[in-house]
């Protein structure tokens, strides 16, 4: 099982399956290979009777940067390609919510954009103390459509969610824990042991009861996802075709502040 994966690495520890995003040079951004592979994994693991708990993490210094500049430029050059990418993001959000296995996000480093959404949609989130998390879509002239508008308000309330989603500011792990965005902020050298202990506790518990409790909790989130995600993705698609988004990508490449015009 889990054969023919190029950008995901797998390690089994009893009933716990460790999955590592493996695009360290691109800060584990979801691209044309890793994105589809991760979606395929989410469907496959649901049928994996040997796995009770999934631990997600990233190779190198980031958990996942979400998107990358090269991918954004390709979509600017070929706007029709954004629909395929955005639909994949939509399917990833639903697949995480539908996954019957307990999922733990282990933030070894920064998680932004879709990377942050993937982490926050997991059942538990633990971060190294140096890690940062945020959804900077607006800084790239985009709507936070691939899960941010869905999950942030549910975790920290609408007022704080709007503060972070409308500014695109990142939080340090300690602040994310303080406001209830994540479950724990842990010194980097202790992150593995904390996550492993929780993963093993859950994996060796009453797995049917645990996983069905997770499924029950997610019922409300799935209803919200059905209401929020189609519009959010459509709005993100709209802004992906905007001049502000193109300016954000240009300014990033040119290492200068963007000059947004609202167009």
pLDDT 10s digit of each residue in the chain, 263 long?
898 999 999 999 999 999 999 999 999 999 889 999 999 999 999 999 999 999 999 999 999 999 888 888 888 888 777 778 888 999 999 999 999 999 999 999 999 999 999 999 999 999 999 999 999 999 999 999 999 999 999 999 999 999 999 999 999 999 999 999 999 999 999 999 999 999 999 999 999 999 999 999 999 999 999 999 999 999 999 999 999 999 999 999 999 999 999 99
Non-local CB neighbours of 191 within 8 Å, separated by 6+ positions: 106, 108, 126, 127, 128
- At residue 77, the pLDDT reads 85
Q: Do 127 and 133 meet the contact criterion of CB atoms below 8 Å apart? A: yes
Q: Do 135 and 77 meet the contact criterion of CB atoms below 8 Å apart? A: no
First to last CA, the chain: 48
What is the DSSP annotation of 174-212?
HHHHHTTSSSEEE-GGGHHHHHHHHHHHHHTS-HHHHHH
Domains and CATH numbers, the chain: 8-188+203-207 (3.90.226.10)
- At residue 78, the pLDDT reads 83
CA angle 88, 144, 132 (to 5 degrees): 100
For residue 65, give both structure tokens: 């940067």
pLDDT digits (tens, 9 = 90+) for 243-260: 999 999 999 999 999 999
For residue 41, give both structure tokens: 């994994």
CA dist 62 and 115 (Å) reads 10
């Amino acid at each position: 099982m889990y054969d023919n994966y190029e950008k995901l690495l797998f390690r089994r520890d009893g009933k716990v399956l460790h999955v590592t995003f493996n695009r360290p040079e691109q800060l584990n951004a979801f691209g044309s290979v890793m994105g589809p592979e991760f979606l395929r994994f989410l469907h496959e693991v649901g049928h994996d009777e040997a796995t009770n708990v999934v631990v997600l993490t990233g190779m190198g210094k980031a958990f996942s940067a979400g998107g990358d500049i090269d991918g954004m430029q390709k979509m600017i050059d070929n706007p029709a390609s954004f629909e395929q990418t955005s639909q994949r993001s939509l399917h990833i959000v639903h697949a995480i919510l539908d996954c019957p296995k307990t999922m733990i996000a282990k933030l070894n480093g920064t998680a932004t954009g879709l990377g942050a959404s993937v982490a926050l949609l997991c059942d538990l989130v633990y971060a190294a103390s140096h890690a940062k998390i945020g959804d900077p879509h607006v800084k790239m002239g985009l709507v936070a459509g691939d899960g941010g508008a869905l999950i942030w308000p549910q975790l920290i309330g609408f007022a704080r969610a709007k503060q972070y989603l409308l500014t695109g500011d990142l939080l340090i792990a300690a602040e994310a824990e303080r406001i209830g965005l994540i479950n724990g902020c842990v010194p980097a050298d202790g992150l593995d042991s904390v996550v492993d202990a929780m993963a093993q506790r859950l994996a060796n518990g009453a797995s049917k009861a645990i996983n069905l409790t997770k499924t029950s909790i997610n019922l409300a989130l799935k209803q919200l996802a059905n209401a929020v995600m189609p519009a959010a993705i459509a709005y993100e698609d709209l802004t992906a075709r905007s001049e502000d988004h193109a300016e954000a990508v240009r300014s990033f490449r040119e290492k200068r502040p963007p000059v947004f015009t609202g167009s």
